[in-house]
Structure 1
Amino acid sequence: MKNLGNMLKQAQQMQSRMQEMQAKLESTEVEGASGGGMVKVRLTGKGDLRRVSIDPSLMNADEREVLEDLLVAAHADAKQKVEATMAEEMQKATAGLSLPPGMKLPF
Protein backbone atom coordinates (compact mmCIF):
# COMPACT_ATOMS: atom_id res chain seq x y z
CA MET A 1 0.00 0.00 0.00
CA LYS A 2 2.92 2.30 0.71
CA ASN A 3 3.98 1.99 -2.93
CA LEU A 4 0.50 3.04 -4.11
CA GLY A 5 0.65 6.12 -1.89
CA ASN A 6 3.97 7.10 -3.42
CA MET A 7 2.56 6.60 -6.92
CA LEU A 8 -0.42 8.84 -6.12
CA LYS A 9 1.86 11.51 -4.69
CA GLN A 10 4.04 11.37 -7.82
CA ALA A 11 0.96 11.60 -10.04
CA GLN A 12 -0.24 14.71 -8.20
CA GLN A 13 3.19 16.31 -8.53
CA MET A 14 3.27 15.49 -12.22
CA GLN A 15 -0.22 16.96 -12.72
CA SER A 16 0.93 20.18 -11.11
CA ARG A 17 4.04 20.29 -13.31
CA MET A 18 1.91 19.59 -16.40
CA GLN A 19 -0.35 22.55 -15.60
CA GLU A 20 2.70 24.77 -15.16
CA MET A 21 4.09 23.50 -18.46
CA GLN A 22 0.86 24.27 -20.30
CA ALA A 23 0.80 27.80 -18.91
CA LYS A 24 4.41 28.30 -19.94
CA LEU A 25 3.73 27.01 -23.46
CA GLU A 26 0.86 29.47 -23.87
CA SER A 27 3.20 32.38 -23.22
CA THR A 28 6.13 30.97 -25.23
CA GLU A 29 6.62 32.07 -28.82
CA VAL A 30 8.97 30.53 -31.37
CA GLU A 31 10.00 31.84 -34.75
CA GLY A 32 10.37 29.82 -37.90
CA ALA A 33 12.07 31.16 -40.99
CA SER A 34 12.67 30.23 -44.61
CA GLY A 35 14.32 31.73 -47.65
CA GLY A 36 17.30 32.88 -45.64
CA GLY A 37 15.02 34.79 -43.29
CA MET A 38 12.96 36.44 -46.01
CA VAL A 39 9.81 34.87 -44.57
CA LYS A 40 9.30 34.49 -40.83
CA VAL A 41 6.36 33.24 -38.78
CA ARG A 42 5.82 33.26 -35.03
CA LEU A 43 3.82 30.54 -33.30
CA THR A 44 2.86 30.17 -29.68
CA GLY A 45 3.82 27.03 -27.81
CA LYS A 46 0.27 25.84 -28.48
CA GLY A 47 0.75 26.28 -32.24
CA ASP A 48 -1.31 29.46 -32.71
CA LEU A 49 0.00 31.75 -35.46
CA ARG A 50 0.89 35.17 -34.02
CA ARG A 51 2.84 36.99 -36.71
CA VAL A 52 4.01 36.77 -40.32
CA SER A 53 6.89 38.81 -41.70
CA ILE A 54 7.59 38.91 -45.44
CA ASP A 55 10.52 40.63 -47.12
CA PRO A 56 9.18 43.32 -49.49
CA SER A 57 11.21 41.89 -52.41
CA LEU A 58 8.83 38.90 -52.45
CA MET A 59 5.77 41.10 -52.87
CA ASN A 60 5.26 40.87 -56.61
CA ALA A 61 3.03 38.70 -58.73
CA ASP A 62 5.96 36.82 -60.31
CA GLU A 63 7.09 35.57 -56.88
CA ARG A 64 3.67 34.36 -55.71
CA GLU A 65 4.43 30.62 -55.81
CA VAL A 66 7.83 31.15 -54.19
CA LEU A 67 6.19 33.18 -51.43
CA GLU A 68 3.55 30.50 -50.86
CA ASP A 69 6.24 27.81 -50.61
CA LEU A 70 8.33 29.94 -48.25
CA LEU A 71 5.32 30.53 -45.98
CA VAL A 72 4.69 26.79 -45.74
CA ALA A 73 8.39 26.12 -45.05
CA ALA A 74 8.58 28.84 -42.37
CA HIS A 75 5.49 27.45 -40.68
CA ALA A 76 6.95 23.93 -40.73
CA ASP A 77 10.17 25.26 -39.21
CA ALA A 78 8.29 27.01 -36.41
CA LYS A 79 6.09 23.96 -35.80
CA GLN A 80 9.16 21.73 -35.45
CA LYS A 81 10.59 24.16 -32.90
CA VAL A 82 7.29 24.16 -30.96
CA GLU A 83 7.30 20.36 -30.89
CA ALA A 84 10.92 20.30 -29.68
CA THR A 85 10.04 22.81 -26.95
CA MET A 86 7.02 20.75 -25.92
CA ALA A 87 9.10 17.56 -25.75
CA GLU A 88 11.71 19.29 -23.61
CA GLU A 89 9.07 20.69 -21.25
CA MET A 90 7.32 17.30 -21.08
CA GLN A 91 10.57 15.65 -20.07
CA LYS A 92 11.03 18.23 -17.31
CA ALA A 93 7.45 17.72 -16.11
CA THR A 94 7.78 13.94 -15.91
CA ALA A 95 11.32 13.85 -14.50
CA GLY A 96 11.64 11.35 -11.72
CA LEU A 97 8.32 9.67 -12.45
CA SER A 98 8.77 5.99 -13.05
CA LEU A 99 6.16 4.76 -15.50
CA PRO A 100 5.46 1.11 -16.26
CA PRO A 101 7.14 -0.16 -19.46
CA GLY A 102 5.25 0.83 -22.60
CA MET A 103 3.30 3.62 -20.90
CA LYS A 104 3.79 7.02 -22.50
CA LEU A 105 2.63 10.52 -21.71
CA PRO A 106 0.45 12.32 -22.49
CA PHE A 107 -2.16 9.59 -22.29
Structure 2
Amino acid sequence: MKNFADMMKQAGAMQAKMEELQEKIAGLEAEGTAGAGLVKVTLNGKGYAARVQLDPSLMKESEREVAEDLITAAINDAKSKLERESQEQMKALTAGLPLPPGMKLPF
Protein backbone atom coordinates (compact mmCIF):
# COMPACT_ATOMS: atom_id res chain seq x y z
CA MET A 1 0.00 0.00 0.00
CA LYS A 2 2.98 2.28 0.51
CA ASN A 3 3.66 2.29 -3.23
CA PHE A 4 0.12 3.52 -3.87
CA ALA A 5 0.54 6.35 -1.37
CA ASP A 6 3.83 7.32 -3.02
CA MET A 7 2.17 7.18 -6.42
CA MET A 8 -0.62 9.48 -5.20
CA LYS A 9 1.96 11.94 -3.84
CA GLN A 10 3.72 11.92 -7.19
CA ALA A 11 0.41 12.47 -8.99
CA GLY A 12 -0.35 15.45 -6.75
CA ALA A 13 3.10 16.90 -7.33
CA MET A 14 2.72 16.33 -11.06
CA GLN A 15 -0.63 18.12 -11.09
CA ALA A 16 0.88 21.11 -9.31
CA LYS A 17 3.77 21.18 -11.80
CA MET A 18 1.32 20.94 -14.72
CA GLU A 19 -0.67 23.91 -13.39
CA GLU A 20 2.53 25.89 -12.93
CA LEU A 21 3.65 25.01 -16.46
CA GLN A 22 0.28 26.01 -17.93
CA GLU A 23 0.57 29.40 -16.23
CA LYS A 24 4.12 29.77 -17.53
CA ILE A 25 3.06 28.86 -21.07
CA ALA A 26 0.13 31.31 -20.91
CA GLY A 27 2.64 34.06 -20.11
CA LEU A 28 4.84 33.27 -23.10
CA GLU A 29 4.92 35.44 -26.19
CA ALA A 30 6.25 34.55 -29.63
CA GLU A 31 6.86 36.91 -32.51
CA GLY A 32 6.31 35.71 -36.05
CA THR A 33 7.68 37.63 -38.99
CA ALA A 34 7.09 37.57 -42.72
CA GLY A 35 8.31 39.49 -45.74
CA ALA A 36 11.80 40.06 -44.33
CA GLY A 37 10.35 41.83 -41.30
CA LEU A 38 7.70 43.89 -43.10
CA VAL A 39 5.03 42.20 -40.98
CA LYS A 40 5.41 41.19 -37.34
CA VAL A 41 2.75 39.44 -35.27
CA THR A 42 3.05 38.63 -31.58
CA LEU A 43 0.94 35.85 -30.10
CA ASN A 44 0.45 35.11 -26.43
CA GLY A 45 0.90 31.64 -24.95
CA LYS A 46 -2.70 30.75 -25.67
CA GLY A 47 -2.23 31.44 -29.38
CA TYR A 48 -4.09 34.75 -29.57
CA ALA A 49 -2.62 37.71 -31.44
CA ALA A 50 -1.33 40.35 -29.04
CA ARG A 51 0.23 42.79 -31.55
CA VAL A 52 0.49 43.28 -35.31
CA GLN A 53 3.10 45.61 -36.79
CA LEU A 54 3.08 46.55 -40.48
CA ASP A 55 5.86 48.34 -42.28
CA PRO A 56 4.53 51.65 -43.70
CA SER A 57 5.47 50.57 -47.22
CA LEU A 58 2.64 48.02 -47.07
CA MET A 59 -0.06 50.64 -46.70
CA LYS A 60 -0.56 51.16 -50.46
CA GLU A 61 -3.88 49.89 -51.80
CA SER A 62 -2.07 47.93 -54.50
CA GLU A 63 -0.16 46.08 -51.75
CA ARG A 64 -3.24 45.10 -49.70
CA GLU A 65 -3.34 41.49 -50.85
CA VAL A 66 0.38 41.09 -50.23
CA ALA A 67 -0.02 42.53 -46.72
CA GLU A 68 -2.85 40.13 -45.96
CA ASP A 69 -0.80 37.15 -47.09
CA LEU A 70 2.19 38.31 -45.06
CA ILE A 71 0.05 38.79 -41.93
CA THR A 72 -1.28 35.25 -42.32
CA ALA A 73 2.26 33.89 -42.71
CA ALA A 74 3.51 35.83 -39.67
CA ILE A 75 0.66 34.56 -37.48
CA ASN A 76 1.37 30.98 -38.54
CA ASP A 77 5.09 31.49 -37.84
CA ALA A 78 4.42 32.76 -34.31
CA LYS A 79 1.90 29.99 -33.58
CA SER A 80 4.40 27.37 -34.73
CA LYS A 81 7.07 28.82 -32.42
CA LEU A 82 4.68 28.75 -29.47
CA GLU A 83 3.75 25.12 -30.15
CA ARG A 84 7.42 24.09 -30.31
CA GLU A 85 8.23 25.93 -27.06
CA SER A 86 5.22 24.39 -25.32
CA GLN A 87 6.26 20.92 -26.44
CA GLU A 88 9.82 21.46 -25.24
CA GLN A 89 8.63 22.60 -21.81
CA MET A 90 6.24 19.65 -21.59
CA LYS A 91 9.10 17.25 -22.44
CA ALA A 92 11.20 18.81 -19.69
CA LEU A 93 8.38 18.40 -17.19
CA THR A 94 7.66 14.77 -18.05
CA ALA A 95 11.31 13.69 -18.36
CA GLY A 96 11.94 10.62 -16.25
CA LEU A 97 8.28 9.84 -15.64
CA PRO A 98 7.37 6.21 -16.15
CA LEU A 99 4.58 6.87 -18.68
CA PRO A 100 3.23 4.02 -20.82
CA PRO A 101 4.35 4.12 -24.48
CA GLY A 102 2.25 6.50 -26.55
CA MET A 103 0.74 8.27 -23.55
CA LYS A 104 0.96 12.03 -23.85
CA LEU A 105 0.36 14.80 -21.35
CA PRO A 106 -1.80 16.74 -20.88
CA PHE A 107 -4.52 14.14 -21.21
Whether these two folds match at TM > 0.5 is yes
* 4+ residue segments displaced more than 6 Å: none
**Percent of aligned pairs with the same amino acid:** 57
Where in structure 1 are there 5+ consecutive unaligned residues? none
Q: Distance in 1 between matches of 2:3 and 2:28?
A: 37
TM-score scaled by structure 1? 0.91
Note if 1:68 corresponds to 2:53: no
Higher relative contact order (CA 8 A, sep 6+): 1
Partner of 1:16: 16
Q: 1:77-88 to 2 correspondence within 5 Å?
A: 77-88=77-88
1:89: Cα distance to partner?
A: 1.3
Structure 2, gaps ≥5 residues long: none
Matched residue type, 1:69: D
Tell me the equivalent position of 1:89. 89
Work out the number of aligned pairs and report it: 107
CA distance in 2, matches of 1:91, 1:11: 17
- Structure 1 residue 9 displacement after superposition: 2.2
